[in-house]
Structure formats: structure tokens, C-alpha cells
Amino acid sequence: MIFRKVALERLSSPEQLDQLLQVTDPKGWLALGALGLLLLTSVGWGVFGSIPTEARGEGILLRQGGVSSLVAAENGQVEEILVAVGDVIQKGQAVARIRQEELLRQIQDTRDKLAGARSEYQDLVRYAGQQRRLRVRDLAQERANLEQTIRTLERQVELTRERMVSERDLLKDGLITKQTVLASEQSLNTAQDQLAGARLSLNGLELKQVEAEQQVDQQIETRESQIRDLEIELRERQARLGEAARVVANRAGRVLELLVDRGDVVNPGTAILNLEVISEDLMAVLFVPATAGKRVERGMVVRVSPSTVKREEFGAILGRVVWAAEYPSTSRGMVRLLGNDELVQKLMTEGPPIQVNVTLERNPATPSGFRWSSSTGPSVKISSGTLATGDVVVRQEAPINLLIPKVREKLGF
């Protein structure tokens, strides 16, 4: 009867317009609000968020200054290696000795020439002394002869003049002929000419002696100059031997690898060892494929992942591009920087890459001393020579900018 009464009341008043209609419950509103908030968040991220475009490269961690090779300057055979792998050497320190056969032969030839020149010089000095003594003796004898000749001619001229005076008186008296007087005059002129010649020869003896002395002195000076030149040549070659026989470090650093052994024959430019420049600051040298590498610019953010660290656990070291090459690297240049042919071949599998140098951000509070992207990093030491990959953020774009071209493409706009 009760249900019948309720039914009769509903039939008597079917609209019941004064009562609220319940569309959904609070749980539904809560779910709808969460969905709206998620939608708004997605739209906001699509407009104001960003998605990075990255260029990946592979490389190695190096001390700033990189790796350099010490090379031989001359041909020769390695006599001794003076350092070992891991040794820290100083600038100017000898790292190897190379036997210089050709230079040793040249030095011996120069010594032989110098000994011969000195022997010839001593012989010349002795000969010059003997010649000087003989010349002095001969000149003294010649001087005495000339002086005697001059005295004789002077007496002859005097007597001839006295005879001519007497003959002129006799010619006046008619006792002799004029022909006799003319013959006496001719004899006088001849004697006077001979006297002048003898006096001239006597005066020329001093000049003759001076010329002879100068000739000998010139010969001695020529020999002395030859000896000086040979001595200079010998000293230069000995100094060159000292330099060529010792391969000297042109900078301080740590020996990474020995490239020759004792007994090896080397040529000018042959690498003796690889040397890492000593520096506390590590840098990353990345080699990015040329297609992506041309987009890399100075100042871009880089995430560097050492091969010894799990990126999914510790993240990556943050850094910035400090230099990007304008042209692709050559294998020769990469070997000169890295000092490892096998590594260079690996890095060039996709063709000549673009070299990118990255400075790593420091953080003294982390165990490694570097700033990491998602944690404090591992407790292991990050050392030079560690292989690494690097992601260079070449562009940041809002997600909506990436979505619109896709929508246009789908709609055919």
C-alpha cells in the first residue's frame, strides 16, 4: 500500500520542477578538472616550453694544450731512450739520443782537413823563416855588390871628367883630335848612366824586400784564415751533433706513449714520443660530422658523457663550446692532436669531421670537480685520455613550432 501511495503521488505531480537534477558526482568533477589542468599544462608547454636540437660528436678528454709529438730533427739510429711512459718531463730535457753517422763522418773529415791545414801552415811558417833568412843574406850581398859597383862607377866618372878636362886643353893646343874628346864624353855618359842605374837598384832593394815579406805574409794569412774557417766549421758541426744527437722536449708534460725503440732508424720528422701538456684543466675535444658540425657556434651548451660514467645514472658534464673549426679536420691534423692513428680512424668513419673544443664547467662541491646535469656525478676521477661523447645544443624550439608544420603537412596546406 505504501508503494501504491508513492506511485499515486508521482502520477498526480509528474514534473517536480522544484528539485535539482544530479548530472555527475564530485569524483567526476575532480577527474574533469585534472584533465583540464593537464590540457592547459600541455598547451602552455607547447607554447612556452622548448625542445633542444642537438648535434652529437665523439672525442676525447684532454688536458688543455692537447697532445703533441716530439720528433727527430736529423737522420740517425736511436741509441737510447731516456724516459718512460708516465714520466713527467721538463722543457729542455733530453728524452732520447740518436747516433749521427753522417754528421760524425763530416766532423772527422773536417778534423782531417784542419790537421792538414795546420801542418801546411807550420811548414809554411818554417819555409818562410828560412826564405826570410836567405833573402836577408842575399839582399845584404846584393847591397854590398851594388855599393861596391857604385863606388867604382863614381871613381870612373870622376876620372873620366878629369881626363876630359885635360883632353880639351890638348885639343886647343892641337895635340889630339876632336874624336878623342867625343869618345871620352861618351864614356862619361855611359858611366853616369850605369851609376844612376846602380843607385836606383840600391834604392829598390828595400822595396823588393818589403814586397817579398808581404807575399810571404799573405800566404801565411791565407793559411790562418783557412784554419779559422775549418775551426768554426768543426765547432758548428760539433754543436749540431750535440743538438741532433739529443731529442729535447720543447715543452713540459707527461709521456703518454713511446713511438720508437732502441736501434730504430729515424728520419727528420719521425715522432719519438707523444707528450701530454701538463694542465689541471680538462677540456673535451669533439669531432662532429660535418653536416651537423657547421651549425655549431661558440658559446653553445654541450653535454659531455665520459665513457667511464653511466649517463642514465649520473647525467653528463655540462660545458660550452669555445671553438669550432671552419673546415673539416684532416687525418694528419687529428693525429697530431690526439697522437693515436686508430682513434683517428674511428672518428673519421663518417668522413672528415668538424673539430669542436669544449670547456667543462667546474663545481668544487662534486667529487669529480665538474658540474653535472642531473646529479653530483660519480665519485671516480675523470682523467685525461678518457673517450667521450658530446651533445651540442644547436637550437631550442617551442614544441608548437614543430607541431604546426606536421599539421600543415597532414592537412595538405
Task: State residue 246's pLDDT score.
Answer: 80
Considering all CA atoms of the chain, what is the largest pairwise distance in Å, rounded to the nearest integer?
224
**Integer Cα distance of 95 and 81 in angstroms:** 6
How confident is the model at residue 153, as a pLDDT?
Answer: 84
Give residue 177's pLDDT. Answer: 80
Distances (CA, A) of 270 to 19, 98, 197, 254, 334: 101, 12, 78, 19, 17
Q: State the pTM of this model.
A: 0.47
pLDDT of the residue at 194 = 86
- CATH T-level topology, domain 48-65+279-411: Elongation Factor Tu (Ef-tu); domain 3 (2.40.30)
Measured CA to CA, the distance from residue 113 to residue 110 in angstroms comes to 5
Distance CA 156, CA 409 (A): 140
Q: Are 213 and 168 in contact (CB under 8 A)?
A: no
Q: What is the CATH number of domain 102-244?
A: 1.10.287
Nearest to 91 by CA among 305, 251, 268: 251
Side-chain half-sphere of 154: how many Cα atoms within 13 Å? 8
Q: What's the gap between Cα 64 and its chain centre?
A: 19
Successive 10-residue mean pLDDT values, the chain, 413 residues = 53 53 63 73 56 83 75 83 86 85 85 90 82 75 83 85 81 79 84 84 74 78 89 86 77 82 86 76 88 88 92 91 88 77 86 91 90 87 88 73 53 51
Is the Cβ–Cβ distance between 75 and 244 less than 8 Å? no
For the chain, how big is the Rg over CA atoms in Å?
55
Long-range contacts of 112-119, Cβ-Cβ distance < 8 Å, separation of 24 or more: 113/230, 114/227, 114/230, 114/231, 114/234, 117/223, 117/226, 117/227, 117/230, 118/227
How far is residue 229 from each of residues 116, 136, 232, 346, 348, measured CA to CA in Å?
Answer: 13, 33, 5, 55, 54
Q: What CATH fold (topology level) applies to the domain 76-100+245-266?
A: OB fold (Dihydrolipoamide Acetyltransferase, E2P) (2.40.50)
DSSP annotation of 18 reads T
Place of cell 873620366: 160
- The CA-to-CA distance between both ends of the chain, in Å, stands at 71
pLDDT at residue 193, rounded to an integer = 86
Give the other-Cβ count within 10 Å of 58's Cβ.
Answer: 19
Consecutive H or E run containing 380: none
Q: Looking at 83-191, which runs of residues are DSSP E strands?
A: 88-89, 94-99
Please provide residue 251's backbone torsions phi and psi, each rounded to the nearest 5 degrees.
Answer: -160, 165
Instruction: Say which amino acid occupies 11.
Output: L
pLDDT of 286:
93
**Residue 134, φ and ψ in degrees, nearest 5:** -65, -40
CATH 2.40.30.170 maps onto the chain at 48-65+279-411
